[in-house]
Amino acid sequence: MLQLAGLLAIVAIAATAIARPSNKWRLEFAGKSKVAGEIELSVTPQGGIATSVVVVVPARSGENATARLVSDSLKATFGDVYHVEVDDGEDVLVKARGGAPDFEVVTIRNTAEGIRLGIDRE
């Protein structure tokens, strides 16, 4: 029993070490959706609880249209917590405002076949 508790503690520490929050993220979209689908993102502030954002992507949506849909959904979900803007048409920049903590953005799922999404720290 003590071994199990020790192992769980090590896993929890390792998971925390792997997560690398940042104050700014770039979401890069490429391609065109072949079918209607959804992109689900998870945004987690450091020391906080994850918020799921689901974006409906219609069939035949290009990278620029998808970036705009994601930007609009993030703005609607988080209001003034993050500064969200479309950059170069196909990228979305998300930046913490004021005293907001660093955060992490990850893709949970992408069922909009044909749309590729890359997420990078800035």
CATH of domain 21-121: 2.60.40.4390
The residue ranges of every structural domain in the chain are: 21-121
Q: What is the pLDDT of residue 1?
A: 54
pLDDT digits (tens, 9 = 90+) for 56-112: 999 999 999 999 999 999 999 999 999 999 999 999 999 999 889 999 999 999 999
The H-or-E segment that residue 9 falls in is helix 2-18
Query: What tokens does 7 get?
Result: 């192992």
- pTM, full prediction: 0.84
Q: What is the pLDDT of residue 59?
A: 98
Gap between the Cα atoms of 88 and 93, Å rounded: 10
Is the Cα dihedral 12, 14, 15, 16 positive or negative?
Answer: positive
* Residue 11 pLDDT exceeds 50: no
Proportion of the chain above pLDDT 90, given as a percent:
83
